[in-house]
Amino acid sequence: MKSSAKASPKTLRMNSARRNRLRQRVSVATIRNGAFQGQVIPAIKLSRILVPVDFSRASIKPLSYASAIAKVHGAKIVLLHITKPISFCVDCGYGPVNRQVTDDARIRKDRALLKRAAARHVPPQSIENLIIRSGKASEQILSTAKELKADLIVLYAHEANESNSVGSHETADRVMRLAPCPVLIVRAHEHDFIQPIGKGGQVLPQS
């Protein structure tokens, strides 16, 4: 004759806990044994990284990030510097009109500075090109990224910078919203996921 006595609430809770632990062990073992082979883990493929620079100390940090990422993925780095155009106002009888022209003398100087910055902070094998543009920073970054079909833009942002400069919050915000590719924004003081490397190749402690 079978007993019709019901299990106590305590016994039910214990049985439920045992079943949950068993399911967890089975799930972990299944994952470890590769049972979820149908779920494809996506891979990251980066070929070209665009890094706008303005020769400030803060703009060195994006170069460090770009160099580390390029090394892992075998990507190439394009350095972009944007010069300010010469602005002036003319009046040909129809009222004042604001005009802008390229500052060729400034561009020549900035090209030399860009070459030195690249030589100091980016491994030569990672450099694909050095580009000088003139105009509004956000517009030039966006157009260059589109033309080059960049896979990633690495940009720094600082609240003290002018609104039209490479490292301003306004430029970073516009680039993030309109860029044709992912954008990595770095700041002067934050939790970094790269570590500085010394001349001998050793990892240096973070300050």
pLDDT at residue 63 greater than cutoff 60: yes
Least confident of 25-39, 156-170, 171-185: 25-39
- Can you tell me the distance from the alpha carbon of 26 to that of 131, in angstroms, rounded to the nearest whole number? 56
Give domain status of residue 205, yes or no. no
Could you tell me if 192 and 206 are in contact, meaning their C-beta atoms sit under 8 angstroms apart? yes
- DSSP strands (E only) in 29-182: 48-52, 76-83, 86-91, 96-101, 127-134, 152-156
Give domain status of residue 34, yes or no. no
Could you tell me if 54 and 61 are in contact, meaning their C-beta atoms sit under 8 angstroms apart? no
Domain of 88, CATH number, reads: 3.40.50.620
Q: How many domains does the chain have?
A: 1
Give domain status of residue 170, yes or no. yes
Q: Exposed, middle or buried by CB within 10 Å (0-12, 13-18, 19+), for 127?
A: middle
- Can you tell me the distance from the alpha carbon of 133 to that of 21, in angstroms, rounded to the nearest whole number? 61
Give domain status of residue 172, yes or no. yes
What's the mean pLDDT in 21-35? 55
Could you tell me if 196 and 204 are in contact, meaning their C-beta atoms sit under 8 angstroms apart? yes
Domain encompassing residue 166: 48-186
Give domain status of residue 175, yes or no. yes
Of residues 59 and 173, the one with the higher pLDDT is: 173
Q: Exposed, middle or buried by CB within 10 Å (0-12, 13-18, 19+), for 177?
A: exposed
Angle between helix 169-178 and 137-148 (nearest 10): 30
Range among 25-29, 49-53, 202-206 rated most confident: 49-53
Structure confidence at residue 202 (pLDDT): 42
Kindly report, residue by residue over 140-158, the tens digit of the pLDDT: 999 999 999 999 999 988 7
The answer to whether the pTM exceeds 0.75 is: no
- Can you tell me the distance from the alpha carbon of 28 to that of 20, in angstroms, rounded to the nearest whole number? 12
Give domain status of residue 90, yes or no. yes
Q: Are strands 183-186 and 48-52 parallel, antiparallel or unpaired?
A: unpaired
Contacts of 83 (CB under 8 A, 6+ apart): 102, 103, 106, 107, 110, 132, 133, 134
